[in-house]
Amino acid sequence: MKRALAILLAPLALAACATTPVIDAPPASAYTPLSIPDRAFQSEEQVADFYLNRANTDDAEITREIGRDGTGLGSRMILVTTDGYRDDSVIGEQWRIVLGEADDGYRVLQAGIRYNCARGANPGWSRNLCP
């Protein structure tokens, strides 16, 4: 009975994986590397919150994209973008986080941040702090 049930459910599991989109994110080299927490998270949302809680995002609009990692490094990627900072130099920030699945949840394999600068020689997205 268990074998028959497993055979019947296998295509459904594969279909669920296929419907999760691959995140179209800039390469890791476009981000400043961040330290990797030595802990597991129960969900992708907990990972995003871990990084957002370290930033001042009180008045910002926050967008989260969660999907498959197209680079092959991990199983999931999270792209968190903030916009609308009340700052004359930084408009927003973006975190690129690659996750691997573990027995105890999700582990961060790679994380980086970049900044959306409003002024300076190169306004727009930069891996360096804004002037």
Instruction: List the one residue out of 45, 103, 115, 113 whose CA is nearest residue 76.
Output: 45
Domain boundaries, the chain: 21-126
Give the pLDDT confidence of 109-127 residue by residue, as tens digits: 999 999 999 987 778 999 9
pLDDT value for 15? 44
d(CA 70, CA 86): 34
pTM: 0.82
The pairing of strands 32-33 and 61-68 is unpaired
Asked if residues 115 and 130 have their Cβ atoms less than 8 Å apart, the reply is yes
Give the pLDDT confidence of 21-44 residue by residue, as tens digits: 999 999 999 999 999 999 999 999
Give the pLDDT confidence of 47-84 residue by residue, as tens digits: 999 999 887 777 789 999 999 999 999 999 999 999 99
Write out the H or E segment, with its range, that includes residue 17: helix 2-19
